[in-house]
Amino acid sequence: MATVRMSRNVSEEIQKNAKKAYQKTNPYLHFDATMGDRIYADLYTEAKEILNKVRGFEHINSSNIVESNERINIQIEGIDTSEYLDPTSNSSYGGRSTYYDAIDVPLTRKQWFFNQNGRDKDVTVPKSNPIHAEIMKMLDHNEQVYQGYEENRNKVQEIIDACVTINQFLKAWPAGAALVPEEALQKANERSVRKQQAEERRALVEGMETDLNTTILTSSLLED
């Protein structure tokens, strides 16, 4: 394969493609509406009865007290969620700029909540509830995914840093061809094809040149 330099743009594209491959094979776990409904049913039932009564008061503006929402905002007993990466953030692969404050879990439909001016932490999931262990398992899984991504990114970067050209990169890591931008790979292959064609032409001539060279040399020695 011909020499094509490992430019900054190419190395960034390789990392971007490596990131996509890692995301596809190592997905984060996300809180879904099934879990949200379970949390609401387990921990908000008693409050829901009070909310329904408040909504039924004829002369009270209940909108100042209750509100409907299709998400439930949770905290977890004994856990500081700000220590855990929020996988819904854009930076969840390749950066830890966004952590949880409280965890926002979807519901299958709108439910009633107390109006809390921003709905910060509607409910705390206690350790005694089985959902607590499920949530912790998800959080720990996502932490492992993130740590694995960091290790994967560093390994890819180490290979990139060791290579001046795409040729060197592919010789060091043949499977890495899947991460090289198509344009750069085609460029390298085109140069490789031209080199191969030149070698084939040279091989063709080598099979004939002895006789041809003799003719030319003899001709140059003979007087006109």
Contacts of 83 by beta carbon, 8 Å cutoff, 6+ apart: 99
Pick the more confident residue, 59 or 140.
140
Cα 197 to Cα 165, 186, 189, distances in angstroms: 22, 16, 12
Is the whole-model pTM more than 0.75? no
Confidence of residue 224 (pLDDT cuts 50, 70, 90): low
Residue 117 predicted with pLDDT over 70? no
The 3-class SS string of 131-177 reads HHHHHHHHHHHHHHHHHHHHHHHHHHHHHHHCCCEHHHHHHHCHHHH
